[in-house]
Amino acid sequence: MAQCAYARRRQHSPEGSRLKNPVVAVTWEKHRRMQGLCARLRLPLFELTHSGGRAARYLWLTWRTIRLVLAERPRVLLVQNPSIVLTLLALVLRPFGRYRLLVDAHNEAVQPFIHSQWPVPGLARWLLRRADLTIVTNSKLADEVERAGGRAFVLPDSLPEAPFEETVLQPTEQALNIMVVSTYAPDEPIADILAVADRQRDKFRFHITGNDRKLAPELRAGLAPNVRLTGFVPEHDYWLLMRDSHVVLDLTLMPDCLVCGAYEALAACRPMILSNNDASRELFGEVAVLAEQGTEGIERALLTARANYANLADKMAESRTQFEHAWRARADNLVKWLQET
């Protein structure tokens, strides 16, 4: 049986809202980035979800979104893209709701990678042109939005709050624990990571998160003994795994992509290994080891992290504080735009 959810997250504070105009956020999935943004800016967030088939899901979500917009009548509507369907619906409803449309665009909404077939890229560019303002995580994506004819605002994810006291794992001569943040998506080089694990059995233990039922049978059959597939773990257990890991490894083949694991690692003060792209270099280059694509690049990054582990760990707390200051300054500019809209 299909399950529906209509979660409303209202954010309050003793001093009240920072915004004088009504702003409403709507998503068709639960995502840490939008939850963090709305919590920090104290915006009401409506998370609409439906677990049925595609047709039933889109029909139900469309109906609930229309009802919500008519009931709330926001001055500014903030939607998350993906979903591209939700963003398109928000544009269709805009003349009736008379709101300004603010879109939080993830990489796939700006540079379609997983859904790169026609007509998605063209539709994505059209949506970027039609939104009043598009939030992206980095300057490279902002350039793409501007080239498409849209207006971009750069705001990385806010840092989540790690549910444990700050700790520092001491370097060891034995194998380091590597937490691999994964969903087994097409942009994740899981095969290369497993190949490196097999070659470095004595130096690293790999704990790979995510639904491992998506792992190809041939890769599962050849797992090295230093690899543990955790499966999907509850959020609290996820954070505990990060706490007990020396290094967080989160890689993507997407260009200009900032992965969630990077923000989580910084929040937990854990050294990280990220893919060597311009966006990661710009935001995390001072504290992350950047890996080139392929097994040799990943292996070299892991060995670099092992050799420089103490130095990397020492930088994390100060870098987290600097990130927070920079994020607040950017967020204040977004608040200013909302107030003037």
- pLDDT of 76 higher than 70: yes
Q: What are phi and psi of 113, to 5 degrees?
A: -115, -50
Supply the pLDDT for residue 127: 98
Domain boundaries of the chain, sorted by first residue? 4-155, 176-322
Q: What are phi and psi of 284, to 5 degrees?
A: -120, 10
Give the single-character DSSP code of 247.
Answer: E
Supply the pLDDT for residue 40: 95
Question: 178-195 pLDDT, tens per residue?
Answer: 999 999 999 999 999 999
Calpha distance 58→179 (Å, rounded): 35
Average confidence score pLDDT of the chain: 92
Calpha distance 292→73 (Å, rounded): 48
Instruction: Give first-to-last CA distance, the chain, whole Å.
Output: 42
Question: 2-59 pLDDT, tens per residue?
Answer: 555 656 654 433 233 455 459 999 999 999 999 999 999 999 999 999 988 889 999 9
Half-sphere exposure in the Cβ direction for 291 (13 Å, CA)? 28
Closest-CA residue to 159 (of 262, 49, 46, 302): 262
Supply the pLDDT for residue 238: 97
Q: Do domains 4-155 and 176-322 have the same CATH topology?
A: yes
| Domain with residues 176-322, CATH architecture | 3-Layer(aba) Sandwich (3.40)
> Tokens 């300054």 belong to which residue?
329
Supply the pLDDT for residue 8: 60
DSSP string, 2-58: --EEEEEE----TT--S-SS-EEEEESS--HHHHHHHHHHT--EEEEEE-S-HHHHH
Are the C-beta atoms of residues 154 and 136 closer than 8 Å to each other? yes
Q: How far from 212 is each of 65, 143, 216, 220, CA to CA, in Å?
A: 33, 36, 9, 9
| Domain with residues 4-155, CATH architecture | 3-Layer(aba) Sandwich (3.40)
- pLDDT of 212 higher than 50: yes
